[in-house]
Amino acid sequence: MPTLHDYSATTIDGKDQSLSDYKGKVLLVVNVASACGFTPHYTGMEALQKKYGGRGFAVLGFPCNQFGAQEPGEEAEIARFCETTYGVTFPMFAKIDVNGDHTHPLYQHLKASAPGLLGTEAIKWNFTKFLVGKDGATIRRYAPNVDPGDIAGDIEEALGA
Structural domains of the chain, with CATH: 4-160 (3.40.30.10)
Q: Which value, in Å, is the radius of gyration of the alpha carbons in the chain?
A: 14
Please report, to the nearest 10 degrees, the dihedral formed by the alpha carbons of residues 40, 41, 44, 47 taken in order: -80
Each residue's pLDDT tens digit, 42-53: 999 999 999 999
For 15, the enclosing helix (H) or strand (E) is none
Task: Give the pLDDT confidence score for residue 115 in this predicted structure.
Answer: 86
Q: Which of 29, 36, 48, 110 is catalytic?
A: 36
CA distance 138 to 158: 11
Q: Is 30 left (phi over 0), alpha (psi -120 to 50) or beta?
A: beta
DSSP state, residue 10: E
Each residue's pLDDT tens digit, 81-109: 999 999 999 999 999 999 999 999 999 99
Catalytic residue status for 36: yes
Residue 161 has pLDDT above 80, yes or no: no
pTM recorded for the entire structure: 0.96
